[in-house]
Amino acid sequence: MPLVFFVAAMAVRTDQTLLRSGCDSEATVVASLPAGTPVKVRFRLSDGSDCFKVSATIDGKDVLGYVPATALTGLERYEQERASAASVDVLRALNPVVAETRKAVAKTGDPALDRAQQLLEANQPAQALEQTQNALARHPRDPNVLVLAGFAAYRADQLRQALDYWKQALDIAPNDPLAAIYERVKREADADHSGDKLFGIHVALRYEGQALPPDTARAILAVLDDDYSNIAAQLGCTSDERIVAIVQSREAYLRSTGAAEWSGGQYDGRIHIAWTDGSQVGPAMQRALAHELVHACLTSIPSGARPWPAWLQEGLAQKLSGDRLPANVREQLRQLAQAHAIPKLENLQQNWSRMSTQNALAAYSLALAAADALYDNYASYGIRNVLTNPETLPRVTADLDAKLGL
């Protein structure tokens, strides 16, 4: 499931609380925590278990492990701060700006700009950047061409170049939404020190050499390449250009992305991951990497007039990263559906970042249940056929609503 990160003033509620190596009740006991022991939250799992990874100090020794939410105080503050967290999805903020820009550049009749837009839709930003640079030789003072060039550069992980193009555009034609995006990306570029790079077959990995040993970085790249091959085979996406993945320490991730404290990963045209697994690629982190790869894969598949809906994005991201819906959660969903207490799939909003934890858990669980139903009921037709024919998705969605009792 997606990892939800947060740091808050929390403490152990009851005496002799068991700190375990995992969320399962059979996981190895790491330590026994006295009531009132302060803990620092590393992240919260949103898989229905409501389990926290925390660190604490016992007898002068630092310990790390997992406890259930019921064992902690301070959850109310967690909810308040989590609910007030703002979305930091630069790609979402850019979309309306770029949509207006595309209308304007279409009027130039420049074939290079037409080709650039096709390449961006096909998730090939580096080639799109080359096309916009060619067009700039003919339209050097056109702010719309500069905005599009900056967008291509941003998607190609060329942040300084993107900022240069956007600064030129703003100097020619002030634009408040673009100015806000410019400042956000400038903060990211100033705070991001992930300069080490490795190149795989499908993925270009950028990482912090001081925070991540080279052997670990190579292991991450191998996992990303293998997982992308498996995901692409199921969904039908292609990677004519390498997908950019940026792996940082949690602190650097928060500084460079401006993400809320609870965030552990995001996709904005590039994969961002906050690394928490030491020198090994553990199961939870492998799921987190695969989850963001699914988003990258879906971005390269044309979705028609509208973006792929949130339930499909998050449902497939969970399913293909190996998540399974527990039986008790599936039963809760059934009861909620009977009581008409959860929305239909088509009514789930695109942006889930402002949901309360309870609503987010329900939304992610519902999305995973929908993905399971999609595979159960459309295996013979083919998931790839659904994705390559987006006009059929409203009918498929209505069918899944019925099967889920919504």
- Alpha-carbon distance of 275 to 40, in angstroms, equals 16
Which tokens hold the place of 398?
A: 């209505």
Q: Where are the beta strands (DSSP E) in 36-100?
A: 38-45, 51-58, 61-68, 72-73
Domain C-terminal end among 83, 106, 127? 83
User: At 155, which helix (H) or strand (E)?
Assistant: helix 143-155
Q: Are residues 259 and 320 in the same domain?
A: no
What is the extent of the structural domain holding 256?
199-299
- 391 vs 295: CA distance, rounded Å: 20
- Report the DSSP pairing between strands 61-68 and 51-58: antiparallel
Which secondary structure element, helix H or strand E, spans residue 90, and what is its range?
Answer: helix 90-106
User: How many domains is the chain built from?
Assistant: 4
For the chain, give percent helix, strand, coil, nearest 5: 50, 15, 30
Of 266, 294, 271, residue with least CA distance to 367: 294
Last residue of a domain, one of 59, 83, 107: 83
The domain that contains 267 carries what CATH number? 3.40.30.160
Tokens 């799921």, residue? 287
Domain presence at residue 305: no
At how many degrees (to 10) do helices 310-320 and 214-235 cross?
Answer: 120
**Residue-level pLDDT, tens digit, the chain, 406 residues:** 333 333 345 789 989 999 998 888 888 999 999 999 998 876 666 455 678 888 899 988 989 899 998 898 877 655 544 433 333 456 667 777 878 888 888 888 899 999 998 888 877 889 999 999 999 999 999 999 999 999 999 988 898 999 999 999 999 999 888 998 898 888 878 877 778 899 999 999 999 887 788 899 999 999 999 999 999 999 998 878 899 999 888 777 877 776 655 567 788 788 888 887 677 788 888 888 899 899 989 988 888 778 888 899 989 999 999 988 888 888 888 888 888 888 888 887 655 655 555 666 778 889 999 999 999 988 878 888 999 999 999 999 999 999 998 8
CB 124 within 8 A of CB 240: yes
Q: State how far Cα 129 lies from the chain centre.
A: 24
Same domain, 123 and 54: no
Asked, for residue 368, whether it belongs to a domain, the answer is: yes
Given a contact cutoff of 8 angstroms between Cβ atoms, the answer to whether 393 and 311 are in contact is no
* Same-domain status, 211 and 270: yes
User: Residue 304 domain-assigned?
Assistant: no
Q: Are strands 243-249 and 271-275 parallel, antiparallel or unpaired?
A: parallel
Contact indicator for 231, 293 with CB cutoff of 8 Å: yes
CA–CA distance, 84 with 372 (Å, rounded to integer): 31
Find the helix packing angle between 357-378 and 75-83, rounded to 10°.
70
The CATH code of the domain that includes 77 is 2.30.30.40
Q: How many CB atoms lie within 10 A of CB 308?
A: 20
Q: Tell me the C-alpha distance between 13 and 54, whole Å.
A: 14
56, 83, 110 - which closes a domain: 83
For residue 263, the 8-state DSSP code is B
Specify the residue for token string 């987010």: 360
What contacts 386, CB < 8 A, 6 or more positions away? Answer: 374, 378, 392, 393, 396
